[in-house]
Amino acid sequence: MPSSEKPPLDDPPSYEAASIPAQNPPPPRRLARPPPLELPALLLLKGKRVVLASQSPRRKQLLAQIGLTNLEIIPSSFEENLPKDVAPFEYVMSTATQKALSVYRQEIDNEEKGEPGLIIAADTVVAGNAGEILEKPRSEAHHVAMLKSLRDGGPHRVYTAVVCVTPLESARDPGYALERAWEETVVKFDSGISDELLLAYVRTREGADKAGGYGIQGTGAVLVERIEGSFDNVVGLPLRTTLKLIEKVMAKADDDDLLNGEVLEQDEEDEDE
């Protein structure tokens, strides 16, 4: 008759033994770095000056994700003082356009470096639930009040406009091609956030230099309950939109063939007459 006794189990290892690392563990495998995007528009930029008309480190980091790492940072000198009695998307479009053209005019005749191959400019604002444009906080008290309004006012919207400018090969008027677009993302703060947490966040100074007073890519994420739309748009540069603009504007850069075709067509019409 088989015994009903269970075989004895080995004692589990002690905490001390479990904490001793294995002898000579194999080195961790280093993953190969993925190759960069080899899109025609990006390949056209090789060896050319690519200028980011912004000193935002976040925009620089986002562009690096699509392979634009060799950027010149030339902040625009345009004073961002356009009237705010317009729709938020109109405001950011106008501001980003002026930023891009300001740097274009400054750099197009650069005798030392040569003309830029591409200028990228952007502008971001946060709009409260009433549509009011919120930019960077002016003081700690203003910062706290701004975040309270975003917490208590329901969902708000973040608008970013991107503008890409490249010189035309033909240099025909106005001398450049320009493409622009804007994007909107809805952001909802957690309505249960305490005043103490808001003040503690303000005192980190993370959001002091950001439109709306918070950085969703940093500690400011604790304030956000959900978003609808592009995350990188809230950070400050919608990558998918930016890449499309680069492709469109670079396709217009070499317009010599188009110009020659127009001239040839016009000459033929003159001969027929």
Active site residues: 123
Q: C-alpha angle 127/128/131, rounded to 5°?
A: 70
Write down how long the chain is: 273
Which residue type occupies 105?
A: R
Alpha-carbon distances of 61 from 52, 58, 88, rounded to whole Å: 11, 5, 25
The 3-class secondary structure across the chain, one letter per residue, is CCCCCCCCCCCCCCHHHHCCCCCCCCCCCCCCCCCCCCCHHHHCCCCCCEEECCCCHHHHHHHHCCCCCCCEECCCCCCCCCCCCCCHHHHHHHHHHHHHHHHHHHHCCCCCCCCCCEEEEEEEEEECCCCCEECCCCCHHHHHHHHHHHHHCCCEEEEEEEEEEEECCCCCCCCEEEEEEEEEEEEEECCCCCHHHHHHHHCCCCCCCCHHHCCCCCHHHHHEEEEECCHHHHHCCCHHHHHHHHHHHHHHHCCHHHHHHHHHHHHHHHHHC
